[in-house]
Amino acid sequence: MRFKFLHLFFVSLFSLAFVSSCDFGFQFSGSVIKKEKAVAPRCCTAKLVLKNANDLFTNEFSFKEIDNSIKILNGTFLGNSQRNYYGDSIGTDLDIIWKTSIGKGQTICVHDSVETWMGAGWTGQPLMVEENGIPFLIQGCYDHHLKKVNAVSGELVWEYLFDDIIKGTGTLYVNKTAQEKEEQLVVMQGSRIGFKLKSWQKEIFSFRAVSYFSGKENWRMNVKRGASYSRDVDASALVLHDTAYIGLENGIFTVFDPRKQNAEMVRDSFRPKILQELDLFNKEDKKLHGGELVTESSPCRIGDHLYITSGSGHVYGYNLTTKKIDWDFYTASDLDGSPVVTNDKCLIITIEKQFIKGRGGAMKIDPSKPADNNCVVWYFPTGDKKFSDWKGGIIGTAAVSKSFTTNKNKPQHQLCAFMAIDGYFYVVDQNEIEKDSLVYGPDSVAQFPKPKFIYRQKIGASIATPLIVGNRIVATGYAGLRIFEFDTQFNFKEIASFKGFFESTPFVNKGRVYIASRNGFLYCFGKKEEVL
């Protein structure tokens, strides 16, 4: 993504208008909001129509214990290495349980102008860890701080200062060989380049590791200058054993050792050991895209391959055995969203309307096939519509469901949901193709099958990712937050809504929705219970 500076300014104006027109009923005490007595969340499980319990997408971070008191509930963007875990349950209500101020901060935008951004935005999904049964959030914010927040009360535990605003979602790393508690569980988090820092400077520390327990720095990585104009970090790293993989906005796929004990001390800080660097673009991409070669997506895993989308228009497959890129599917457009793994080991990618003649949309591809048009299972184009300086397509990541069945004699259904710039929330059946329906692809030349259409609802433009848990879906965007419910025949209805301005992706736990807004607040939504 370019990152849409005019768009952010546009949204900031509306966010300010929203804040000024609403009565939030809060009082400040330092940097934390005072509130009524916190009520611990109760488990709220939706009515499931799952084929069987084994079809649940799992979160490999769940049940991974540091000791008997610590459990990681959401350890990276969209929960696991397949980018398809959204939480344990979605409730029926969007009452405000608590909200806490997460501030505002300045950043440099187009033509070196200084803008103030509030709250948190894309991708901005909170991480969650449970300590002795109490959940805590890790949230990157536009006030330049990474924050640890009590998820029951909304109270701030600690905050760590970066050099610029934080847009992306972090990744939690469990260091099993660490001797010090400070190094046993760390948050690896990216930020923008650094307020008033220049892209040509020798060192830009926009990716860092911070102790989950104390908020103290473990190490910082210099995101070096490359062919891309950016040195920001929006992506979430993927960790396999003691090796981490991430695509940086400089357009470089970086493999590194996340352990502090193997880091090098340079002057006054530790630097992680870099194991490998690979460009996520080629010479032709530089001619077409110029410096817009940023990688903002988070890698996913299928077997012995990692897959990552790039702003250069490619979906790359990295072979974990040979340590080489050996699969390269080209779309030409900017790919902002992360690739998502489906039950049948395919990928769902989202395509923006940029650098292409055709429409953007959602595409299912099979990476077990050669990386040409024959690997495309289906394509679902969304409408062209100008919103700020976007022209259409999908910016966020798609969501995929577990397996559903409506009849014992019929095949299982697996849903795919996404929100688009055209203002619609879409749901399709990712395993069924519409009969006699071919649509033009992103290049407006090739034609592909179209998935079976399930549901569409106007919700306003969005760059976030929906969450699917059971038979409920959380959808967010610039017009607010909504919960949809569907029955065994896929009849949808909206059961709850909250007006607001959201760019970030939420996380759900025990029926509660946790999400940061562009209005300067971090929210916990759920069913308000009477405090005795």
Supply angle C-alpha 468, 397, 71, rounded to 5: 60
How many residues are listed for the chain in this entry? 532
Rounded CA-CA distance 364/377 in Å is 5
What confidence score (pLDDT) does residue 2 get? 53
Rounded CA-CA distance 221/206 in Å is 7
Other residues' Cβ atoms within 10 Å of the Cβ of residue 320 = 15
Supply angle C-alpha 6, 292, 341, rounded to 5: 95
Rounded CA-CA distance 117/141 in Å is 10
Q: How far is CA 100 from CA 19, 20, 140, 254, in A?
A: 14, 16, 14, 35
What confidence score (pLDDT) does residue 57 get? 54
Residues of the chain with pLDDT under 50: 4-56, 62-63, 530-532
Do 142 and 159 touch, CB atoms closer than 8 A?
A: no
Domains and CATH numbers, the chain: 5-526 (2.130.10.10)
What single string gives the DSSP state of each residue in 283-311?
Answer: HHHHHHHTT--------EEETTEEEEE-T
Can you give the pTM of this predicted structure? 0.90
Rounded CA-CA distance 392/7 in Å is 13
What confidence score (pLDDT) does residue 468 get? 98
What confidence score (pLDDT) does residue 175 get? 96
What confidence score (pLDDT) does residue 413 get? 85
What confidence score (pLDDT) does residue 221 get? 99
Q: What phi and psi values does residue 452 have, to the nearest 5 degrees?
A: -65, 125
Q: CA quadruple 512, 83, 79, 170: dihedral positive or negative?
A: negative
From its phi and psi, is residue 392 left (phi > 0), alpha (psi between -120 and 50) or beta? left
What confidence score (pLDDT) does residue 389 get? 86
Give the CA count within 13 Å in the CB-facing half-sphere of 106: 7
What confidence score (pLDDT) does residue 505 get? 99
3-class SS at 107? strand
Rounded CA-CA distance 225/254 in Å is 13
Do 403 and 412 touch, CB atoms closer than 8 A?
A: yes
Q: Is the peptide bond before 123 cis (omega within 30 degrees of 0)?
A: yes
What confidence score (pLDDT) does residue 353 get? 97
Of the candidates 475, 479, 483, 473, which has an alpha carbon nearest to the alpha carbon of residue 461?
Answer: 479
Q: What does the pLDDT look like over 82-103, one tens digit per residue? A: 999 999 999 999 999 999 999 9
Do 289 and 312 touch, CB atoms closer than 8 A?
A: yes
Q: What does the pLDDT look like over 121-137, one tens digit per residue? A: 999 999 999 999 999 99
What confidence score (pLDDT) does residue 65 get? 55
SS3 content of the chain, % helix, strand, coil (to 5): 5, 45, 50
**Residue-wise over 487-525: b if at least 16 C-beta within 10 A, else e?**
eeebebeeebebebbbbbbbbbbbbbbbbbbbbbbbbbb
